[in-house]
Amino acid sequence: MGMTITEKIIAAHSGHQEISAGQFVYADVDICLGNDITAPIAIEQFETLGMEKVFNPDSIVLVPDHFTPNKDIKSAQNSKLLREFAQKHKIKNYFEVGRVGIEHVLLPEQGIVVPGDLVIGADSHTCTYGAMGIFSTGVGSTDLAACYATGKVWLRVPETIKFIFKGKLNEWVSGKDLILHIIGDIGVDGARYKAMEFSGSVISDLSMDDRLAMCNMAIEAGAKNGIIEPDDCTEDYIKGRAQREHKFYSSDEDCNYHEIREYDVNNLSPQVAMPNLPENVKPVEELSDIAIDQVVIGSCTNGRISDLRIAAQILKDKKIDPSIRLIIIPGTQDVYLEALKEGLIEIFIEAEGAVSTPTCGPCLGGHMGILADGERALSTTNRNFAGRMGHTASEIYLSNPAVAAASALTGKITHPEKVN
């Protein structure tokens, strides 16, 4: 019996010629990631163990992105802990304010993660990197601490669900809509501890930015990881970026899938997830009467340059509805700089939007756009749990950047074709 791409990568990192779903392995880690919320706990655990050095300083990445720049004393202390740990252990991939970006936009952009890697991160959206043909998954801070010491992670090999997309995407429909459509179909636990393998002609035609957005939200279906077989698009993306040698893996024709699901996207509209779960999905047309107070465009799901270009295309020479707030957050400093060069930031400011330095900010209810009691936001982020962006009585709707920008102009959830 053949192996899936997920099984092949895990096998290659655990000294096995063959493995199968359900098997437990102890695997070598290429890159391990922590941020300003999760890494402090890992660092404290590492030091409690009495360890004097990390397994490989070049394999550790520290990204203080959730409260950047520091919003209060606690966040400042956390960042200080990361900074001192990085200095002590000569960790080169520590990203200070001015260099920092949202971690899951930053690592692919900088070529820190490459196809064929096994990556863990003390952040659930570490599954993002599967878009590049990487096995990447979120872990707890204690697992991260153990990895700092050993360079290894303990895993159960997941079963794989294959999702095949056929047809042709309509205008204003993106990778974000494909993953929302899946989650709406299978639910937030429909792929629990499974690998979600995305394939088909539609996926082959997607940009890397859209692929990253899809794999980013695999965790919202309960998945262990999301993954796409690398191809020419992957090769083009990593060219000039990759900091290490890479390897392309693909699933064998005779591999065993837990399930195969097929979707025809010819009639798919932009999707919107309603409160309070990402599975509560409807086409944008069905929600056109819902008024909003705030729009957020950014995050590790949709904070890349293509996302900002789409938003700017819709907002150009227009003003947002005076009853709402529009917050735009480029994913990294490079994205911010490119948006400046292309005139996108000018478009956003002239539309009366607020542009932030790269940060997770409002996505987790941290800062830069917290919701008050009863307020309603439309956001390009990945989660809309009650209280996620502020008050527990606030509401969050999730969409792609085109829907978000169009809705900022009207003050209510709007299909982009209505304003373009």
pLDDT of residue 309: 98
- How many Cα neighbours within 13 Å face the side chain of 272? 25
The CB density around residue 22, as the number of other CB atoms within 10 Å, is 9
Paired with 199 in beta bridges are 164
pLDDT of residue 1: 78
273-285 tens-digit pLDDT: 999 999 999 999 9
pTM tops 0.85 = yes
In the chain, CATH 3.30.499.10 covers 5-262, 272-418
Mean pLDDT of 16-28: 96
Lowest-confidence segment of 146-150, 271-275, 316-320, 363-367 by average pLDDT = 363-367
Q: What percent of the chain has pLDDT over 70?
A: 100
- Calpha distance 359→351 (Å, rounded): 21
**Tokens encoding 44:** 């404290």
> In 3D, which of 411, 409, 383 has the Cα closest to residue 395?
383
Mean pLDDT of 147-151: 98
- Calpha distance 213→288 (Å, rounded): 24
Mean pLDDT of 383-392: 95
- Calpha distance 54→151 (Å, rounded): 8
Q: Is 36:6 a contact under the CB 8 Å cutoff?
A: no
What top-level class would CATH report for the domain 5-262?
alpha beta
Mean pLDDT of 300-312: 98
- Calpha distance 153→63 (Å, rounded): 20
Q: What percent of the chain has pLDDT over 90?
A: 98
Q: Which CATH number fits domain 272-418: 3.40.50.970, 3.30.420.40, 3.30.499.10, 3.40.50.2300?
A: 3.30.499.10
Whether 289 has a pLDDT exceeding 90, the answer reads: no
pLDDT of residue 109: 98
- Calpha distance 330→297 (Å, rounded): 8
The CB density around residue 404, as the number of other CB atoms within 10 Å, is 34
> Rounded to the nearest 5°, which phi and psi values hold at 8?
-65, -45
| Sheet bearing 294-297, strands edge to edge | 281-283, 271-273, 395-398, 376-379, 294-297, 325-328, 354-355
Whether 417 has a pLDDT exceeding 90, the answer reads: yes
Taken in order 267, 272, 274, 279, the sign of the CA dihedral is positive
Paired with 195 in beta bridges are 160, 225
pLDDT of residue 206: 98
> In 3D, which of 264, 144, 256, 145 has the Cα closest to residue 202?
264
48-73 tens-digit pLDDT: 989 989 999 999 999 999 998 999 99
User: Whole-number mean pLDDT of the chain?
Assistant: 97
Whether 410 has a pLDDT exceeding 90, the answer reads: yes
pLDDT of residue 420: 79
Task: Write b or e for each residue in 327-362: b if 16 or more Cβ atoms lie within 10 A of its Cβ, otherwise e.
Answer: bbbbbbbbbbebbeeeebbebbeebbbebbbbbbbb
Give the amino acid at 24: F
> In 3D, which of 251, 246, 303 has the Cα closest to residue 113?
246
Task: Write b or e for each residue in 204-237: b if 16 or more Cβ atoms lie within 10 A of its Cβ, otherwise e.
Answer: eebebbbbbbbbbbbbbbbbbbbbbbbeebbeeb
Mean pLDDT of 140-166: 97
Mean pLDDT of 2-20: 97
190-241 tens-digit pLDDT: 999 999 999 999 999 999 999 999 999 999 999 999 999 999 999 999 999 9
